[in-house]
Amino acid sequence: MANSSIECPYHKEFHKQDAVQVIRELPFQPEKHPEYQSFGIELGLYLCKEEGGGYFLLGAIGSFQSGFVVAYSPIPPGLAMVIKIPSPAGAGDTDWQEQQLRELERRLRDAWKVYDRQLWLTEHWQEIEQKYPGKYIAVVAREIVAVGNSMKQAYQIASQNYPIQSILVEYVPASREEVQIAG
């Protein structure tokens, strides 16, 4: 695992072998994108020791293959969460570990969905501009599910069909003049 590094707080690279203890590791499996798993994405909780003493838990998602984190990578690079703990004993409680890991997983999954949807929109924005100029579009995951003349209208149409889904509503500027801003 010579390349198994992710960035961690305190501006150091974190190597898994530097952790005092690997608490838990899980493969991270974004829904609908099993192809990304081939990149070796992992989600983990690591007990680490600070230089000045003390411990922290690093919750991290990362690819443990070199060269994966590129400009247009669909994976948020180096996404991490730090949980400070008073002593390593705090990390010994398996229920607590599970709770922290699930919370981390939930946050990452939510962040992933937001990020993934934005990337999809950015990749398809020119096509969207041509199809829906001056309209509001409602997007669920990677799909435009409603179009309206107002934010409220697009949201209402979408929420009727996707009542429990996270719905993003975006305005599609109709012309270049609309987006020319000096500020």
Partner 1 sequence: MKLLEVPYREFHGIFLPVIGIEIGYKNNFVPTSALADTGATNSIFSAGVAEILGIDLKEAPSTYIHGVGGGMIVANFHPVEIRVAGLSIPARVSFSEELGIPFNILGHEGFLEYFKVCFDTARKKFTFEVE
SS3 160: helix
Exactly one of 115, 142, 147, 162 binds partner 1 (CB under 8 A); which one?
Answer: 115
Could you give the string, one character per residue 46-75, with x where binding to partner 1 holds by CB under 8 A and - elsewhere?
Answer: -----------------------x-xxx--
**Ramachandran sector of residue 67 (left: φ over 0; alpha: ψ -120 to 50; beta: rest):** left
Q: Is 84 in the site for partner 1 (CB under 8 A)?
A: no
Q: Which is nearer to partner 1, 78 or 90 (CB)?
A: 78
SS3 38: helix
Q: Is 114 in the site for partner 1 (CB under 8 A)?
A: yes
Exactly one of 26, 111, 147, 157 binds partner 1 (CB under 8 A); which one?
Answer: 111
DSSP 8-state secondary structure symbol assigned to residue 90: G
Exactly one of 19, 47, 48, 79 binds partner 1 (CB under 8 A); which one?
Answer: 79
Q: Is 26 in the site for partner 1 (CB under 8 A)?
A: no
Q: Is 164 in the site for partner 1 (CB under 8 A)?
A: no
Q: Is 81 in the site for partner 1 (CB under 8 A)?
A: yes
Tokens at 107, concatenated: 């946050």
Tokens at 167, concatenated: 């719905």
Q: How far is the CB of 122 from partner 1 (least distance, A)?
A: 5
DSSP 8-state secondary structure symbol assigned to residue 2: T
Chain length of the chain: 183
- How far is 103 from 10, CA to CA, in rounded Å? 23
Q: Is 31 in the site for partner 1 (CB under 8 A)?
A: no
DSSP 8-state secondary structure symbol assigned to residue 47: E
The neighbour count for residue 58, using CB atoms within 10 Å, is 20
**What residues line the site for partner 1 (CB under 8 A)?**
7-9, 11, 69, 71-73, 76-81, 104, 107-108, 110-111, 113-115, 117-119, 121-122, 125-126, 129, 150-152, 155, 166-171, 173, 175-176, 178-183
